[in-house]
Amino acid sequence: MKTALYILAISFLINTSLYSQRDKDEVDPMFTKAYKKYEDKDYSGAYLDYSSYLMKMPKDGSATYNRGLCAYELKDYKDGLTNFDKSISLGRKSADAFYSRGLCNYQLENYKIAIADFDTAISLKLNYVKALTYKAAALNELKKYDEALTLLNQAAAADENHENTFYFRAITKYYLKDFEGSLADCNKALSLKNQYETYFWRGLQYLNLKRYKEAITDYDTVIQHDPKYAKAYYNRAIVYYDLKNYEQSLSDNNKSIELNPAKQEAYYNRALTKHQLKKYKEAEPDFNAAIDLKLNDAKHYLWRGANYYSQKKYALALPDLNTAIQKDPKSEAAFYYRALIKYDQGDDKGVIEDCTSALAIRKTYDEFYQRGISRYNLKDYQGAIEDFNESLLIKPDYKVAILERGISYYQTEKDALALADLNKTIEIDPKSFRAYYYRGKLKKYMNDLTGSCNDLKLAQSLGSQGAGDEMVKNGCK
């Protein structure tokens, strides 16, 4: 039964726009000095010089605005907000001032207030592409993706060369599950500006579109640019997992957790990878960590329960599987694993009940097979045959189902059908001692005593415990 990783929602990575200063003072040397330092990207020096200038001219809205730009570039968004507020109160009621204040509110996660600022900026400047773009980014954070898409379409129509518009539209389309559209916007954004965050998002679209080689290439690019980018390792681990390259997936999950120990999804994904590598004991603490860190959906209990099952820790597995079913009554895999535990505990009626529940959700060859085995154990041979038939319709080469159907045919005295299945089993697996054993018993009833003895001898040589007794009954030499 295939294990599925999920892709988490990833927080937005903003491509920060650089601003232009306003109203350069050609007379005051302190203002001019501050202005030049900002242009040279010496934001700390510019901030200090603007502060000195404002000691003399405290009501200069332009200098206050420019100091806000310095604070923004220094990532002091609260101070930036204070300066933009003051510049607006001093009369700088321009579109850029409201846009800049909106960006500070955006960075401080005051998304609704940011939207109000962007709205004011747009009202003052028709088709203000930056304000439209970042209003949409704020709407994304509020999960209002349809509204965001409308604004981003408007921004793209107004300016087809603004990279951030296509970057954020790619993110919006991702959340609307338009992966092809998101990929196209990532490509457009990259054609305008080579930003490693855009490679990150493009890698995510390639992952969703199962274009794994291209996804790995993009995540390699991101990691080369920033070797401490935990989310890139996390997503690349998912790509390797889907490619069944579990060792590489494990390595990337390890790095993701090393860089961000609080990321609960990484523990869950690492646990799944260890489970696939049959490192069940090592997977156990990771499943525990994920659940302790408040990952408590049905699938988290399901796969911890499955991992306990793989260690035969049934007393721990059953509560987890019960919890998974309680949280998601359509968790087909949880019913199946619970059926396997009941089988090991000799509860064939319970197996049939859980397999029936699982099959009502999704029909799989292994669930039909498992229910068939329990029906056989309860001597419902015809029911067993029907389940093995269903299993083989889904997987025609499923050798254990062919064998068990042959044995069930033997029990119902359908000798020709039994012989065909036993022959087919031996053709697929020449070392199947059970197939030789039952074919040996069958041949006796078909009056082929020599063939019966030969098959029973082969069965005994391959490890059958009962073949010797049958040989004695047959008088085999």
Inform me whether the pLDDT recorded for 286 exceeds 60. yes
Q: Is a pLDDT exceeding 80 seen at residue 9?
A: no
In contact, 347 and 316? CB cutoff 8 Å: no
Looking at the domain assignment, is residue 63 inside a domain?
Answer: no
Once rounded to an integer, what is the mean pLDDT over residues 310-324? 98
Q: Among 295, 320, 340, give the residue marking a domain's end.
A: 295
169 assigned to some structural domain: no
> What pLDDT, on the 0 to 100 scale, is given for residue 6?
42
CB of 448 closer than 8 Å to CB of 415 = no
Which residues neighbour 280 within 8 Å (Cβ) at sequence distance 6 or greater?
Answer: 274, 307, 310, 311
Q: What pLDDT is recorded for position 23?
A: 56
Query: Is residue 45 predicted with pLDDT exceeding 80?
Result: yes
Domain boundary residue, one of 238, 271, 295: 295
pLDDT over 60 (residue 424): yes
Give the lowest-confidence range in 23-32, 185-194, 286-295.
Answer: 23-32
**What pLDDT is stored for residue 64 in this prediction?**
95
Query: Which of 53-62, 143-152, 164-173, 340-349 has the least mean pLDDT?
Result: 53-62
The pLDDT confidence band at residue 92, using thresholds 50, 70 and 90, is confident
Q: How far apart are the first and last CA of the chain?
A: 46
| 258 within some domain | yes
- Residue 354 lies inside a defined structural domain of this protein: no
The answer as to whether 291 is a domain residue is yes
Q: How big is the chain by its Cα radius of gyration, in Å?
A: 34
Q: What is the CATH number of the domain that holds 242?
A: 1.25.40.10
Residue (of 98, 106, 150, 90) closest to 123 by Cα position: 98
Q: Is residue 183, in this structure, part of any structural domain at all?
A: no
Question: Final residue of a domain: which of 271, 295, 319?
Answer: 295
Q: Which residue has the higher pLDDT, 2 or 340?
A: 340
Residue 432 has pLDDT above 50, yes or no: yes
pLDDT band per the 50, 70, 90 thresholds, residue 20: low
Task: Report yes or no on 300 lying in a domain.
Answer: no
Q: How many domains does the chain have?
A: 2
Alpha carbons 45 and 47: distance in angstroms, whole number: 5
In-domain check, residue 365 = no
pTM, two decimals, is 0.83
Q: What is the pLDDT of residue 8?
A: 43
pLDDT, average across residues 223-251: 97
Query: Does the pLDDT value for residue 118 go beyond 60?
Result: yes
> Structural domain of residue 255, as residue ranges?
206-295
- Contacts of residue 59, defined as CB under 8 A and 6 or more positions apart, other chains included, come to 90
| Residue 19, pLDDT score | 54
64-92: average pLDDT: 95
